[in-house]
Structure 1
């Protein structure tokens, strides 16, 4: 009997997380009422408290687990992989409600006094991993600091997606990400490396010939 109970608990938690993400995505933290989330999830207050202590706790889970449904393209390594990841995220930002809500809440943390920086460090680590591989492939300029640039990239991406959200509901986010990279790449890679990269916006998962 333990396994069925565990599976029900997992389904309940998943329903709560999904309903919270959808509601936070629509209304932000302040506009998302707990009763609205519970009704959308089809879950009682008592069932919620088994998994989450409060709306704040739910919001923190959405932030921390924003990448749970992502499946990054793995066709490349180094700078092309980094470019592909960023374009993949642009498409996911348009279609993946858990990711989109988690990003929104991470940006709007002051409203809920969550103040959890860990997700930004996590993203910086994902980007730094590819920068290290780019270094191994001889793609980076000698003076590039992979740790520092990964933090800069998280900030640049965050700001770019906010601008895209305000200007077009993120419809133009892939194009804005391409523009961002065209500005950033000369600071970290020599011209001959940049010439071999595909910076064009394209659907997630599309293969590229660059290596």
Structure 2
């Protein structure tokens, strides 16, 4: 058990160090030597968990799935809003998620399918919208597939614009604006007045 816990800590240490390096330098500019310098681990320990730089990058990209778990809420549109808010909040402070997103959008020699993280996002949002439709939260006749693709695309664009203009300092405000402008196009009038589009107060 102790050895397993030590291995888990070592793996997390490698991912966090790699995330910092990838976030700062990108995939091409990062090296396993740079990563090791920030972990204090041996090269053997690194290769025990990850046989290559690409394997580390794949693990970082797949960490996005942790940020795509919707918080529980009886109103599924609120759950969708909260999911994007929490993703945005983590993107500002979590180097692992930041590196994961950078690896997704950069055009490099990293060969992981670029569309996969967007498919995860699609599935998370589509599932919530389908439930919202079943609960009468969405206007009749709304094309859920089309709406999901638009929301995922808009959220991706908001992230990129915020990064370019303010280094993500205004990301939560931009996500708030996105939902405030989009909701009247597909949410029922009764729902709009009940939905919170501003970030939840942190306790």
| TM-score, structure 2 normalization | 0.88
Moved more, 10-19 or 180-189: 180-189
Moved more, 193-202 or 92-101: 193-202
Q: 2:76 matched to which residue of 1?
A: 78
Change in Cα spacing, 1:148 to 1:71, as seen in structure 2 (3 Å) is: closer
Change in Cα spacing, 1:196 to 1:70, as seen in structure 2 (3 Å) is: closer
Work out the number of aligned pairs and report it: 202
Change in Cα spacing, 1:204 to 1:152, as seen in structure 2 (3 Å) is: farther
Q: 1:209 matched to which residue of 2?
A: none
Which of 99, 110, 114 is the aligned partner of 1:113? 110
Q: 1:51 matched to which residue of 2?
A: 49
CA shift at 1:28, angstroms?
Answer: 1.9
Give 1:1-211 correspondences, 5 Å limit: 3-68=1-66, 72-108=70-106, 110-116=107-113, 117-203=115-201
CA shift at 1:44, angstroms?
Answer: 1.9
Instruction: Report the secondary structure of 2:137's partner residue.
Output: coil
1-structure distance, mates of 2:6, 2:36: 16
Unaligned runs of 5+ in 2: none
Instruction: Report the secondary structure of 1:65's partner residue.
Output: helix
Instruction: Report the secondary structure of 1:112's partner residue.
Output: coil
RMSD: 2.2
CA shift at 1:174, angstroms?
Answer: 0.9
CA shift at 1:17, angstroms?
Answer: 0.9
Instruction: Report the secondary structure of 2:82's partner residue.
Output: helix
CA shift at 1:112, angstroms?
Answer: 2.9
Unaligned runs of 5+ in 1: 206-211
